Amino acid sequence: MDSDAYSSSFRTEAAIAQQLQTRHFGLIDYQSAWEAMQAFTQQRTSSTVDEIWFLQHPAVFTQGQAGKTEHLLAPGDIPVIQADRGGQVTYHGPGQLVAYLLIDLRRRGLGVRALVTAIETAIVTVLSQYRISASPRSDAPGVYITDPVSHRTGAKIAQLGLRVRRGCSFHGLSLNVDMQMEPFTRINPCGHVGLAVTNMAMECDEVPSASTLSQQLTEYFMADLGYTVVSKSGDGRLPVLPPPNDR
């Protein structure tokens, strides 16, 4: 490769690294979203722009790679899916905002721990805009209420679980916004016996929309992770990348 071609390639890669694509899907079944994440991560190349997918799931329990059956107390009519993310069992359902972060960590020079910290800090920052005091815990990933006057201090309000393959992340976070909480009583959330769980509707007077929260999280990730260009898609269709030989 001559110097001009190398310089052009470097500029192209640098431009791609500055871009972030957000997609907004509405209600998507977990299995379809999971399979799409796996395919996206497997097929992406050095020229693939990083993406964040915002969506909600119909009621489902998912077991992480560390999940143990004893933490599934009484799933009943809610399906259970064994997933490839980190962590233990959790619940997803309508009224919970899910964000899947499909990020080329090598390109960004990010380690997994740094990404976890960025996710937790993003959630804490957004919650603070609604006067919800929360923080992560060193012994258990996620975000927990820390308001000393709240009788739900210590309750979990957001969950996270990641998988890294080929230097790229998938899966991500779930923020409990305004959802039915009863299903959490059917499990030991994230493998913790007796862990209380809460949502934004229980902690603040005015519950923001999923669209507003998605925008606020996007703005934080842009600033914290160094993106300068963001594009948004809201067509509701899971992306399908062409096979590598076609790109």
85 known ligand binder: yes
115 known ligand binder: no
89 known ligand binder: yes
- Which amino acid, residue 129? Q
76 known ligand binder: no
> For the residues of 146-202, what is the DSSP string, one character each?
--TT-TTTT-EEEEEEEEEETTEEEEEEEEE-S---GGGGGB-GGG-TT--B--HHH
220 known ligand binder: no
> For the residues of 206-217, what is the DSSP string, one character each?
SPPPHHHHHHHH
Instruction: Look at residue 104 and give its three-state secondary structure.
Output: strand
Q: What angle do CA 241, 66, 108 make, to 5 degrees?
A: 45
87 known ligand binder: yes
Residues belonging to the active site: 190
174 known ligand binder: yes
Helix (H) or strand (E) holding 53: strand 50-56
26 known ligand binder: no
57 known ligand binder: no
Among residues 90, 35, 84, which one has the least CA distance to residue 60? 90
> For the residues of 65-97, what is the DSSP string, one character each?
TT--GGGB---TTS-EEE-SSSSS-EEE-TTEE
23 known ligand binder: no
91 known ligand binder: yes
Q: Enumerate the known binding-site residues for substrate.
A: 85-92, 172-174
Q: Enumerate the known binding-site residues.
A: 85-92, 172-174
